Amino acid sequence: MAGTLFSSLVVAGPVVVVSQESAIDSLSQNQVRQIFNGQLRRVSGISVKPLDLPNGSASRDAFYQQVTGKSAEQMKSYWARMIFTGRGMPPREVSSERELGMLVGSDPGFIGYVEESRVPAGLRLVFRP
């Protein structure tokens, strides 16, 4: 019975992806956290432009919880403070995983996250929490 309960809790989560054309091969959790909280803007000499899934999406919630240890709501508060003090802007929000995949695939500087089971062709996985 315990095995059944455990297996029902194991689900694929969000992974970080870049264009196949990107020079970024892999990222650490610390780098990913810094990219998505605005502290790291260049990796391997490349200016990175993070993309966020829509507010309220399960993937966004899971991503921030796994990578930063904060909820999406806590990140929203963090960005409100950063904007207010002039210290940064949040990642650009896209309308869907499909839009995120198209943008990341079209520009080696974009970086985003999608459910591991739905990584689009043409993108490379660079971090798995």
Per residue of the chain (129 residues), give pLDDT as tens.
Answer: 444 444 444 457 899 999 999 999 999 999 999 999 999 999 988 899 999 999 999 999 999 999 999 998 999 999 999 999 999 999 999 999 999 999 999 999 999 999 999 999 999 999 998
Residue 5 lies in a domain: no
Instruction: Give the pTM.
Output: 0.88
Residue 4 lies in a domain: no
Which domain range does residue 88 map to? 13-127
- Here the CATH number for the domain that contains residue 79 is 3.40.190.10
Residue 109 lies in a domain: yes
Residue 2 lies in a domain: no
Residue 55 lies in a domain: yes
φ/ψ of residue 114, rounded to 5: -145, 165
Residues 127, 28 contacting (CB under 8 angstroms):
yes
Residues 83, 76 contacting (CB under 8 angstroms):
no
Residue 63 lies in a domain: yes
Alpha carbon of 84 to those of 29, 75, 91, 93: distances in Å? Answer: 27, 14, 15, 19
